[in-house]
Chains A and B, each alone.
Chain A
Amino acid sequence: MSTWLIVLAMGIVTYLTRLSLIALFGRIEVPSLVQRSLRLVPAAVLSAIIFPELLRPGGTLDLSFANVRLLAGLLAVLVAWRTKRVSLTIGVGMVALWILLGLS
C-alpha cells in the first residue's frame, strides 16, 4: 500500500509541473533566473546518476582498468557524442560491458 502512495505522490508532483504554466498563463511571469536554472536541470540530475553508476559500481570508488562499467560507459559517451543516437549508444555500451565481463 505504501508503495502505491509513493507512486501517487510522484504522479501528483509530476502532474503539477506539467499543468503549472498551462494553467497559470498570463497570471505569473517565470523569473529569468528560474528559467536559466531549469535549462540546466537535465544535465545536472542525469549526470548525478551516471557518475556513481560508472565510478562506484561496487559501492566504492574504482578508477582502475578493472572497472568494466567505467570503460563501457566511456565508450558509450563517445558513441553518444559522435552519433547522438540513443539506441546505438545503449547497444554499444551493453555489448562492450558483456565482452569486458567475459574477459575479466
Chain B
Amino acid sequence: MTSRSAFIEGVRAELPILVGVIPFGMIYGVLAVSAGLPVSVAQGMSVVVFAGSAQFVAAQLFRSATPAVVIVITTFIVNLRHLLYSASLAPYLKHLDWTWKALLAYLLTDEAYAVAIIHYHRTGIESADWPHRHLYFLGAGLALWLTWQASTASGILLGAQIPAGWALDFTLALTFIALVVPTLRDWPSVAASLSAGVVAVAAANLPYRLGLIAAAIIGIGVGLLTESRQSAVGRPEGKAP
C-alpha cells in the first residue's frame, strides 16, 4: 500500500461514521449558543477540546454557571476513556517520531479510533503497509476533524434562530441514551449505569454540580463490585438479557 492510498483508505473508512457525526455536531452548536457561550468560544471548543460528549456536557454546565474546576474535572472524567484507546493504539504507533505521536493523539476520538483499530487488528502488527499505517489514521482523523468543525459551525449559525419552545436541549439526553443503551451488554455495565443514575438524581442538589462526579465514581465502584461478585460465583462473562 502506498502512502497516498493508505491516507485515502482511512478517509473512506471514516465516511459512513460521518453521516452520524454531522447532526451530533450541529446539535452541539445549537446547545452551546443557547447556553449563552459566545460564538468564538463555542467554535473554539470544537478546535481545542475536539470531543463531542465532553463538549455537550460542558455546554450544559456552562448554562448552569458551574465553577471552572468542576467543568474541567468533569471533562477529564468524561474523556478518561481515551486512556483505553491510547493504550490500545500505542503498539501500532510506537515506531513514529514525537511529532507524529503528538499529532495523532490530537486526532484520537471515538470515531477515528473505532475505524483505525479495526484496520490495525485486521492487518496485524507486521503487515505490508506497516510504514504507512499512521497515514490511515491521519486520513480517518482529518476527515472527522473537518466534518466536526463544519457541522458545529453550522449548528452555531443556526442556533441563534431556533426558538426555545422547540426544547432542543432534550437532544442532549437523547443523544446520550443512544450512545449508552447499546453498550449495556453485561451486568457490571448495567449496574454502573443504574447506580450512577440513581445517585445523580439523589445528589442533584449538591453544590457546584458535584453530584455528577460523585455519581460517576459510585457507579464505577458498583460496576466493579458486580464484576468481582460475578467472577466469585464463576460467571466471568455473565450477559444481561
List residues of chain A with CB under 8 Å of any chain B CB. Answer: 2-11, 13-15, 17-26, 30, 33-56, 61, 69, 72-73, 76-77, 80-81, 84-87, 89-90, 93-94, 97-98, 101
Contacts and interface: CB of A to CB of B under 8 A. Distances in A.
A50 B194 CA distance: 11
Interface of B: 20, 23-24, 27, 37-38, 41, 44-45, 48-51, 53-54, 57-58, 60, 62, 68, 71-72, 75-87, 89-91, 93-94, 101-102, 104-106, 108, 166-168, 170-184, 188-190, 192-201, 204, 211-212, 215-217, 219-220, 223-224, 227
**For chain B, what secondary structure do more than half of its interface residues adopt (helix, strand, loop), or is it mixed?**
helix
A47 B105 contact: no
Given A39-B84, A40-B188, A86-B178, A14 B75 contact: yes
Given A13-B76, A17-B86, A76-B173, 7 more contacts: A10-B45, A37-B220, A41-B216, A52-B211, A81-B182, A89-B177, A89-B178
B86 A49 contact: no
Given A23-B101, A49-B57, A52-B204, A6 B68 contact: yes
A39 B227 CA distance: 12
B94 A48 contact: no
